[in-house]
Amino acid sequence: MKKIAQKTLLSLLALTAFESAFALDSGAQNLTTTIGATDYFKITCAGDTDHLNFKLFENGVTAAPVVITELPPTLPQVLNVTLAKLKLTAATSAIAAGTNKEVALKGGNGAYTLTLDTFGTNLTLKTAQTYSVQYQCLNAAKTITAGSSTLVKLGVESTTKSLANNKTAKYAINCTGKTDSLKVKIINKTAAVKPISPIIPAVSVSSGNLTAQVIKGANAQNTIGDVLDIQEGNGDYSVMVNSPINAAKTYSFQYSCLNTKNFEAKTSPFQLLQNQ
């Protein structure tokens, strides 16, 4: 196959009330008439990538920039946690609905203050958040020592608590018995809010002479013209382009690594692994 130099096109459009995404263009590629001819590429996504957006263009048609016209997902409800003792602090933030995180502070014996807040939550959401707490006072060998709190007994998950958006809750935890550190687990039991525009993998329905298959892990999707969203996060995506009718075709493709809000994550130039 005649090898055509790869060019990289980086474009950005802005539409009122919508964000647009950068898209990398493969430039002109060519597939021969050889039976079974397949071009093979690797695309690597990094940053906070949630999904790869991919589209194949045939017959040398210049690819239009990828413009995300969907509204971004509804911002979530989150819990933030700070653990403090005298001048020592440890914190973890953005505990999303249905998830949990741990925070630990090496402060020895004595009284610790556990503070939870919902700052950063989408204030259009009016439902209070729910959560539970579990804590352990630990010695230097990470063995449970002794401790108490009006919140719940040591090592036992608390009953479900609620906290309105943009509010704060505080609890005292007292550790004794040669404690080295306090570890607290926060379980966000709030029901997740469904996004306004969920990412739904496209189903191929259009006509064309070339097909492209995008693969990552166990997820493999085919396209003959439609836009694909392959929701597999960071890492390497494999792309195979071939022709079911063994017709020589000029083509190009465009791709973007996007986060959960359909904004550009980190998109790298593709690698050509097989050229037929």
Convert the pLDDT of each residue in 1-10 to its tens digit: 333 333 333 2
Task: Retrieve residue 13's tokens.
Answer: 């459009």
**Beta bridge pairs of residue 44:** 236
pLDDT at 71: 45
Specify whether the CB–CB gap between 216 and 236 falls below 8 A: yes
Q: Which CATH number fits the domain 10-72+198-274, given the four candidates 2.40.30.260, 2.60.120.510, 1.10.10.10, 1.20.1270.10?
A: 2.60.120.510
- What contacts 56, CB < 8 A, 6 or more positions away? 208, 210, 211, 212, 223, 224, 225, 241, 251, 252, 253
Report the length, in residues, of the chain. 276
CA distance 262 to 27: 23
User: Where do you find CATH 2.60.120.510 in the chain?
Assistant: 10-72+198-274
Region of 69 on the Ramachandran plot (φ > 0 left; ψ -120 to 50 alpha; else beta):
alpha
Q: Which CATH number fits the domain 78-188, given the four candidates 2.60.40, 3.40.50, 1.10.3470, 2.60.120?
A: 2.60.120
- Reference 275, options 244, 247, 240; nearest CA is 240
- Reference 185, options 95, 107, 118; nearest CA is 95
Task: Retrieve residue 11's tokens.
Answer: 């474009």
Convert the pLDDT of each residue in 61-94 to its tens digit: 433 444 444 444 566 788 999 999 999 999 999 9
pLDDT at 100: 95
Split at pLDDT 50, 70, 90, the class of 144 is very high
Q: What is the mean pLDDT of residues 208-232?
A: 81
